[in-house]
Amino acid sequence: MSRFWIPLLWCAGLSGLLFIGSTHAQADDSTAQPLSYSIALTDRLRITVYQEEDLSVMARVDAKGTVNLPLVGEVAVAGKTVSEAQKVIEASYRAGRYLKNPQVTINIEEYAPREVSIQGMVRNPGRYALPIEASMTVLELVTKAGGLTDTAKGTAITVTRISAEGKKTVFNIDVESLIKGREKAKATDNSLILLPGDIVYVPERII
């Protein structure tokens, strides 16, 4: 196996999965961006390095969001797209001066379960699987759950998200205005993309 020990002028940093830090927040513009599949905890990955067979491994993403790779050790990949994770691993081999121009390919061999739950005033509350390589909004989940009940307060739906660090973020979503096409409906209410583990709650309307 070839190795290139040369001085490097820079080292690539490893970027982690960012979570919104506020306790109560509205969806921002970034949630509206098209999403590619983000690597999740317990995904099983086939990681190959071109012309470096002894560096190619099958690895499962651990509870810390990392995979353990030959020579470079733990590399954070959870929350990254496959393309981003490939670049991070390549940067790790370059930064460690193990390879001059590594070419990494990642294939997801086994997907982790990806579920969200919806509770409260919907016709079919429960847990629902997220699409593997597509996104799902709150409105789409409400529809999947059979729609709002007659006593639902659809203007005050909450999405609770807990980060890997235990930080809780609550999003307030007005789904009813979206369904009825009201003028006060905001685009941001239909741009929040659900993530695995999100808890959606539909409160009851007080009459």
Could you tell me where the DSSP H helices lie in 107-174? 138-144
pLDDT at 73: 95
Q: Are 123 and 76 in the same domain?
A: no
Local confidence band at 71 (pLDDT 50, 70, 90 cut-offs): very high
Local confidence band at 72 (pLDDT 50, 70, 90 cut-offs): very high
pLDDT at 21: 35
pLDDT at 146: 95
pLDDT at 112: 86
pLDDT at 186: 63
Q: Are 84 and 119 in the same domain?
A: no
Express each pLDDT in 161-203 by its tens digit: 987 677 899 999 998 888 776 666 565 556 788 888 899 999 9
CA separation, residue 139 to residues 33, 82, 144, 182 (Å): 17, 27, 9, 14
Tell me, yes or no, whether 10 lies in a domain: no
Domain count for the chain, please give it.
2
Tell me, yes or no, whether 207 lies in a domain: no
Q: Which domain holds residue 175?
A: 115-202
Express each pLDDT in 119-161 by its tens digit: 999 999 999 998 877 789 999 999 999 999 999 999 999 999 9
User: Of 110, 139, 162, which residue sits at a domain end?
Assistant: 110
Q: Are 122 and 176 in the same domain?
A: yes
User: Of 55, 88, 110, which residue sits at a domain end?
Assistant: 110
Minimum mean pLDDT range among 47-61, 75-89, 111-125, 185-199: 185-199
pLDDT at 131: 84
Contact assessment for residue 8 and residue 102, using Cβ atoms and an 8 Å cutoff: no
Q: Are 142 and 177 in the same domain?
A: yes
Contact assessment for residue 157 and residue 177, using Cβ atoms and an 8 Å cutoff: no
Tell me, yes or no, whether 8 lies in a domain: no
Q: Are 103 and 151 in the same domain?
A: no
DSSP 9-58: S--PPPPPPP----SEE---GGGGS--PPBP-TT-EEEEEETT-GGG-EE
d(CA 48, CA 71): 14
What DSSP character marks residue 44? E
In terms of phi and psi (left: phi > 0; alpha: psi -120 to 50; beta: otherwise), the region of 188 is: alpha
pLDDT at 40: 85
Contact assessment for residue 36 and residue 131, using Cβ atoms and an 8 Å cutoff: no
pLDDT at 54 over 80: yes
Q: Are 93 and 120 in the same domain?
A: no
d(CA 28, CA 187): 10
